[in-house]
Amino acid sequence: MDYISLLNESQRKAVLHTEGPAMIIAGAGSGKTRVLTYRIAYLISQGVDPFNILALTFTNKAAKEMRHRIEKVIGNEAKNIWMGTFHSVFSRILRAEADKIGYPKSFTIYDTDDSKTLIRNIVKEMNLDDKLYKPNVVLGRISSAKNKLISVKQYLNDPVIQADDEAAMRPKIGKIYEQYANRCFKAGAMDFDDLLFQTNVLFRDHPDALNKYQNIFKFVMVDEYQDTNYSQYLITRKLAAQNRNIVVVGDDAQSIYAFRGADIQNILNFERDYPELEVFKLEQNYRSTKNIVNAANSVIKNNSAQLKKDVYTDNEQGPLIEVIKANSDNEEGKLVATTIFEEKMSNHLSYDDFAILYRTNAQSRAMEEALRRMNIRYKIVGGLSFYQRKEIKDLIAYLRLVVNPNDEQALRRVINYPKRGIGETTEQKLFVTADETNHSVWEVIQNAGQFLGNRVGTAIENFSIMIKDFARIADNTDAFEVAKHVAKHSGIVDDLYQDKTVEGLARYENIQELLNGIKEYVDDPEKEDKSLSAFLQDIALITDADTKADMDGEFVTLMTIHSAKGLEFKNVFIVGMEENLFPSQMMLNSRADLEEERRLFYVAITRAEKKLYLTYATSRYQWGNLRACEKSRFLDEIDPKYLNFKYGEQNTASGGGGNVFDRVLQRKSSISSLVQPPARKQAATAYTAPADFKPSDTSNLAAGMKVEHPKFGFGVVSKIDTQGNSTKAIINFDEVGEKTLLLSFAKLRIHN
């Protein structure tokens, strides 16, 4: 019983409550995992059989952590608790009862790729347009139906659902759903949604099975209850109907998964199902400083749909929240990177103490590039590095093919993406013919009629013409204009635009962000060569260094706010605090959507323990055009006494004094000196090359040589760095300091 003394009064009351329904409203950082753990331990100490306890979580990690903590208190009996995710627990039940609903006990569980492959085959067999009936879109529609317990029969007979599909120009989704369900059943397979859907079917159609598990699960506990969907809600309500010993734990202020089917009404209306409900509020935050907790409270109070609670902390006051305004998203990235570097050095911190959170994955590009330039190591959580994402690699592959049509890997990637009628058999024939005739695949493609005969059709000829057209444009314009043209006329943009799922919209935004990055490259006055070839070499150097980085050691963490839920960091940067970005433009159509965005911001704020930074840009590239941005309305919802506005915003906080952003701006040269040799003073006027300036052959350039550059003037080569086919020269110029130049493009005159 010693562990009870470790709890505060509210936590203790929640743990000692053992009979009847209860709701534990757990504010951010309030110790809810400890309460759940000790409550289970206390039940067992009071004679409850662990086999009679059901504890449902949303992640295997959470279940594992809770079980480990319980073991420390009560020993091996913790192994007998029915504890795990909804899917793991109910797949276990379904295996035991599968014969009742016509499935074998050894049924297969399809993952997402299995489901998409099956849907793709069904669409093909039904002779439907695979551009309209994309597997991702169809599976999303079927998944949504299952989570709402809508069967195939109900789907086909519901006029509202059918009207929605007609409006979306996908009237056959119901028939695909029917085929998909039949094929899964015949194969003895369930997808992830079926594990919940079929559990509901089992309990609905077989009262004996429901009664069996009602008697087994005398005590039901559900973690993160605000994230449950209708299917999960109904299962837990049925299981608890007999004993009514159900305890749910959650925080309505952290309900952020509506797009996955989560229904905040489950927690808001919990008392409707259990009038005798007891409510316990865990309101003491053990994670964050007073300023952070109070700022979060001042934001979330603007939501009308919420359970009342007063979150507080006894922690230190802490520094004010820094609000930084940058002129552009590129500058925003630089300021974040330099701030992290300075904070680490000044306060002897680890890079592991820092996290950068953003609303969309596309925002990582500017952050990643700024961190790379500062040699700050980072890791992407819940997503791929920007340049490793499929849609980015697809467009980059097209651009590589424009520059070098013999690039076989790029060709393999895009020859039939988006689909253009070049099937696997034809594609294989191209590569076999190239190998047998000792020609490049591109040569075979250009002369397909000669090598393969007229039977290959026009698809290959059209592909060849398209790539040649792209190459012609590349010869006469800069990297951005080429990339914009390729993105549009290759069909990639249109293909991604048609996918209206959350994932599809994210991929579409990522292509936009890549084009933004190319536009910034072209607009950079220090980039002499604006060609597509130069850009691709620049990107190749970045991504190559990234993939070869030693993954041991400390990293700054980058992730979306959705991925950050449940985590905490000493120092947090929430970037892109702009209208139409956060809150997202897609979440401004209703009050319910806006309130979900506000809860997402609340989650982001409460990830921070010690320091919080909120950054926004006054301009941001959008499809290659520089657009003016307005700061987020959420910034105005924070009580200004918790904020410190700097760099372009009047400081509304009392006390004055400099902050980290002042130091970043005032001491850039001193920061730079820690990561590279000191730069010499910038010349008052740009260097003007003499009329007789003529670049030298730099193939034998070596360290120590004196050189002249038409823009940077005179300097001395300090290092030559060769990576693959690229050679860079690091040169200390007399007037502008150190520069790194690619010798294949740099115009240098060597002086003896």
26 assigned ligand-binding residue: yes
Least Cα distance to 91 among 194, 211, 230, 244 occurs for: 194
Average pLDDT over residues 494-514: 84
**pLDDT tier for residue 362 given thresholds of 50, 70 and 90:** confident
pLDDT in tens, 262-302: 778 888 888 888 989 899 999 899 999 999 999 999 999 99
Query: What integer pLDDT is reported at residue 563 of this predicted model?
Result: 87
| C-beta of residue 730 within 8 angstroms of C-beta of residue 717 | yes
Fold of the 3-99+198-284 domain: Rossmann fold (3.40.50)
**Hey, what are 281's tokens?**
């509020």
CA distance linking residue 354 with residue 343, whole number of Å: 10
Q: Which two tokens stand for residue 484?
A: 């914009």
How many CB atoms neighbour CB 745 within 10 A? 14
Instruction: Indicate the pairing of strand 53-57 with strand 321-326.
Output: unpaired
The tokens describing 104, both together, are: 């074998």
pLDDT recorded at residue 453: 67
d(CA 720, CA 714): 17
> For the residues 506-521, what does the mean pLDDT come to?
88
The CATH number of 321-377+553-646 is: 3.40.50.300
pLDDT for residue 550 is more than 60: no
What per-residue confidence (pLDDT) applies to 647?
61
Q: What mean pLDDT, rounded, does the chain reach?
A: 84
Asked if residue 583 has a cis previous peptide bond (ω within 30° of 0), the answer is yes
Buried b (16+ CB within 10 A) or exposed e, 494-515: ebbeebebeebbbbbbbbbbbb
DSSP string, 94-127: HHHHGGGGT--TT-EEE-HHHHHHHHHHHHHHTT
- The answer to whether the annotation marks 29 as part of a ligand binding site is yes
Residues marked active site are found at 32-33, 223-224, 254, 607
Q: How many residues does the chain have?
A: 752
Whether the predicted pLDDT of 83 surpasses 60: yes
Q: What's the angle, vertex CA 141, arms to CA 273 and CA 125, rounded to 5? A: 145
Q: Answer whether residue 308 shows pLDDT above 90.
A: no
- Band (387; pLDDT cuts 50, 70, 90): confident
CA-based Rg of the chain, rounded to a whole angstrom? 30
On whether 715 is known to bind a ligand per the annotation, the reply is no
CATH level 2 (architecture), domain 108-187? Orthogonal Bundle (1.10)
> Is residue 385 pLDDT above 50, yes or no?
yes
pTM for the whole structure: 0.67
Would you say 583 and 594 are in contact if contact means Cβ atoms under 8 Å apart? yes
Is 32 annotated as belonging to a binding site? yes
CATH node for 388-529: 1.10.486.10
Determine if residue 163 is labeled as part of a ligand binding site: no
**Residue 507 binned pLDDT confidence (cut-offs 50, 70, 90):** confident
The verdict on whether residue 30 carries a ligand-binding annotation is yes
Q: Which residues of 549-559 are buried (b: 16+ CB within 10 A; e: fewer)?
A: eeeeeebbbbb
Same topology between domain 108-187 and domain 321-377+553-646: no
* pLDDT at residue 548 is higher than 70: no
Residue 454 confidence (pLDDT): 62
| Res. 672 pLDDT band, cuts 50 70 90 | very low
Domain ranges of the chain: 3-99+198-284, 108-187, 321-377+553-646, 388-529, 705-751
Mean pLDDT of 588-599: 90
| Joined tokens for residue 410 | 């790029």
Instruction: Kindly give the pairing relationship between strand 625-628 and strand 569-574.
Output: unpaired
Confirm whether residue 31 is marked as ligand binding: yes
594: confidence class by pLDDT, cuts 50, 70, 90: very high
Q: What is the mean pLDDT of residues 490-518?
A: 86
Tell whether 231 is in a known binding site: no
Half-sphere exposure of 348 (CA within 13 A, CB side): 0
